[in-house]
Every structure is written in C-alpha cells, then in structure tokens.
C-alpha cells in the first residue's frame, strides 16, 4: 500500500489532487483541511507544529504533498507574518516531520518567485520576486531544500479548476464583474490587459503530481525544482473575454494597458516545463474546453445558469 498525505486537501488544487489519487488502485490518500474539513479529512492547522508532527507520525506516509498556503498576494502584502507562518515555517515543520518517517515531500510554489522581465523561466533561472507573496514562497522553497532529506518543489502559475465559490480562483473571480457589466445600464468592467498569465487547469496539475508520485513509488524520485504550466498566454482582459463568450454574456469590458494593482505583480513569468516533459510527464487541457467544464459544474449566482456554447 502506497500512502500519500495531502496537506490542504480542501483547497482548489488539493481537491483535484485528492480526486486524482483516489482513483489509483493500491494507494491510500489521507487529506487534511483547515477551513473546510469534510468527514473524510483530518482537521489540521499547519501553523501548529505539534499537531503537524502528530499527524505525520500517525499517518506514516510514503509521500507528503503540501498544497496548503497563503496564495493571495494582497493578503501577503498586508500580513507578512501570516504569509511566513503558512508559506515558510509550516513547510519546514512538515518537511522535518516527513524526514522522521522517510517520506518524500513535494511542496507547491509559484511563478511569482520571478520578476517577469525575462521569460521563459527555467527551473534553474535566478529568482527575483517583486512582492511579499513571491518572497514568502521563495523562502518556502529554501526551507524545503534545507530541511527535507527527500524533497521537491513544483512551481505553478495561475490556477483554475472546479470551484466552491467564484473567488476561489483569480480566473473565476472575474465572473461576477463580467455578469454585472452585461446588465442593462451597467458600467463597463475594467480588466488588466498588461500582465500576461498562463492559466493552468488543476486536474492537469493533479495528473502531473500523480505521475511524479508514481515515479517515486518506483524508486525514481524527482528532487530539486520542477515547473508545470499551461501554454496559452492571456491577460486578465483576454481571460474575461473568453469567459463572457463561454457564458454567452454580452459583457462590456474595457482593457487597462498599464499596471493598476496596489500590490506589484510581474509582467510575464512564463514557466518552462521542460524538466518534467523530458520525463514524459504532463497533460494540458485547452482553456476554452476546461473553463466550460468548470462553469457548467458551478451553479450561477441568482437565476438559472447561462447556456454554455
């Protein structure tokens, strides 16, 4: 029996990963959650070092995937202590506990460790984060490398996938403004058309992680830093246009061609996925296909959902 502990199993990526791994014959998945624990998940606050150590010792996993984090840049900017507790200190605690049972630790990081001025970025490109979120995740990468006897960092860009609420992903968080702009006598919704993002589907990331775990189970463990990314570049404005098309909304959208966010964000942090691709790992679902699947599964706020094209 190959046992995997998923830390943060109730989150956007964690749910997709638990669903993917649960289909593996001969595997046991033990997931934790903080804000939305379900009956089959273990309630765990990763800031509680003793609780983390007890959980890892009791579970005795072969691998640990850290999908829990503070991933909201504006929150990290306002509360760097919280960002450090979740994105750095907790990673070190989990990795140390995993060491004691000989488990491989996979920690999720971000494209925001780069400043976005010289894409594409390889796994060995020099990091230069612009904001507190990027700094905390880079420190978390270093905490893992310094602590884990067997560890790997997986950097990811903007994620979207099956949701429990519009704000859960920066992609679907645009839907309410898009819908409002389509209402009679409404104002156009202003959308950023400066920063280039690479939306990446969480079921695809879960597939990638499962392939990495399969290699570990066969004794072909991946270490160091790897990256995975969708390959369709889009600004927030372009994402909004495609969302409106999928929802068949006559939205009024205005592109904003200069940076307007209070928290600095990089221009283009395209991640090269070549290290995983060379191992035969990867899957990419087209954005238009994936986003229609996400929207069709989530109930529209208010009346019946618009018919998807």
Q: What is the pLDDT of residue 261?
A: 80
Q: Is 133 exposed, middle or buried (0-12, 13-18, 19+ CB in 10 A)?
A: buried
Q: What is the pLDDT of residue 300?
A: 62
Cβ atoms of residues 194 and 267 within 8 Å = yes
CA-to-CA distance for 240 and 246, rounded, in angstroms? 10
Please write down the HEC assignment for all residues of the chain: CEEEEEECCCCHHHHHHHHHHHCCCCEEEEEEECCCCCCCCEECCCCCHHHHHHHHHHHCCCEEEECCCCCCHHHHHHCHHHHHHHHHHHHHHHHHHHHHCCCEEEEEEEHHHCCCCCCCECCCCCCCCCCHHHHHHHHHHHHHHHHCCCEEEEEECCEECCCCCHHHCCCHHHHHHHHHHCCCCCCCEEEECCCEECCEEHHHHHHHHHHHHHHHHCCCCCCEEEECCCCCCECHHHHHHHHHHHHCCCCCEEEECCCCCCCCCCCECCECCHHHHHCCCCCCCCHHHHHHHHHHHCCCCCCCCCCCC
Q: What is the pLDDT of residue 306?
A: 56
Segments of the chain with pLDDT less than 70: 36-37, 300-309
Cβ atoms of residues 137 and 113 within 8 Å = yes
Contacts with 186 (C-beta within 8 Å, 6 or more apart), sequence order: 180, 252
Distances (CA, A) of 155 to 108, 127, 178, 186, 241: 6, 12, 29, 39, 27
Task: Please pick, among 112, 121, 133, 237, the residue that the annotation labels catalytic.
Answer: 133
Per-residue pLDDT tens over the stretch 53-81: 999 999 999 999 999 998 888 899 999 99
CA-to-CA distance for 64 and 60, rounded, in angstroms? 10
CA-to-CA distance for 25 and 17, rounded, in angstroms? 15
Task: Give me the CATH topology for the region 2-160+199-227.
Answer: Rossmann fold (3.40.50)
Q: What is the pLDDT of residue 304?
A: 45
> Is 160 annotated in the active site?
no
- At residue 47, φ and ψ (nearest 5 deg) are -80, -10
CATH 3.90.25.10 positions along the chain are 166-196+233-268+287-297
Residue 286: other Cβ atoms inside 10 A = 12
Q: What is the pLDDT of residue 301?
A: 52
The residue count for the chain: 309
CA-to-CA distance for 39 and 212, rounded, in angstroms? 28
Q: What is the pLDDT of residue 308?
A: 53
Distances (CA, A) of 181 to 57, 222, 240, 250, 291: 52, 47, 11, 8, 20
Tokens of residue 118, six digits:
């010289």
Task: Give me the CATH topology for the region 166-196+233-268+287-297.
Answer: UDP-galactose 4-epimerase; domain 1 (3.90.25)
Q: What is the pLDDT of residue 198?
A: 98
- At residue 178, φ and ψ (nearest 5 deg) are -65, -45
CATH 3.40.50.720 positions along the chain are 2-160+199-227
């Amino acid at each position: 029996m190959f046992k995997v502990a998923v830390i943060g199993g109730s989150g956007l990526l964690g749910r997709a990963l638990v669903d993917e791994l649960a289909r593996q014959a001969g595997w046991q998945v033990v997931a934790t959650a903080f804000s939305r624990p379900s009956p089959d998940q273990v309630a765990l606050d990763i800031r509680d070092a003793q609780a983390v150590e007890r959980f890892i010792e009791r579970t005795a996993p072969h691998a640990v995937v850290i999908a829990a984090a503070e991933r909201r840049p504006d929150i990290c900017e306002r509360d760097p202590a919280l960002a450090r507790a979740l994105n750095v200190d907790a990673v070190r605690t989990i990795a140390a506990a995993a060491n004691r049972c000989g488990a491989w630790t996979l920690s999720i990081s971000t494209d925001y460790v780069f400043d976005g001025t010289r894409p594409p970025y390889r796994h060995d490109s020099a990091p230069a984060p612009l904001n507190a979120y990027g700094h905390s995740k880079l420190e978390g990468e270093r905490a893992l490398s310094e602590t884990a006897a067997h560890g790997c960092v997986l950097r990811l860009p903007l994620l979207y996938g099956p949701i429990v609420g519009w704000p859960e992903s920066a992609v679907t968080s645009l839907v309410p403004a898009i819908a409002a702009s389509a209402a009679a006598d409404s104002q156009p919704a202003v959308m950023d058309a400066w920063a280039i993002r690479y939306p990446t589907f969480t079921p695809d990331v879960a597939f990638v992680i499962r392939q990495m775990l399969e290699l570990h189970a066969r004794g072909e463990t991946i270490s160091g830093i790897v990256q995975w990314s969708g390959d369709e570049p889009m600004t927030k404005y372009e994402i909004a246009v495609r969302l409106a098309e999928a929802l068949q909304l006559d939205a009024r959208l205005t592109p904003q061609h200069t940076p307007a966010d209070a928290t600095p964000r990089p221009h283009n942090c395209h991640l090269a996925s070549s290290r995983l691709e060379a191992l035969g790992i990867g899957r990419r679902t087209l954005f238009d296909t994936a986003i229609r699947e996400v929207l069709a599964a989530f109930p529209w706020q208010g009346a019946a959902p618009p018919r998807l094209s």
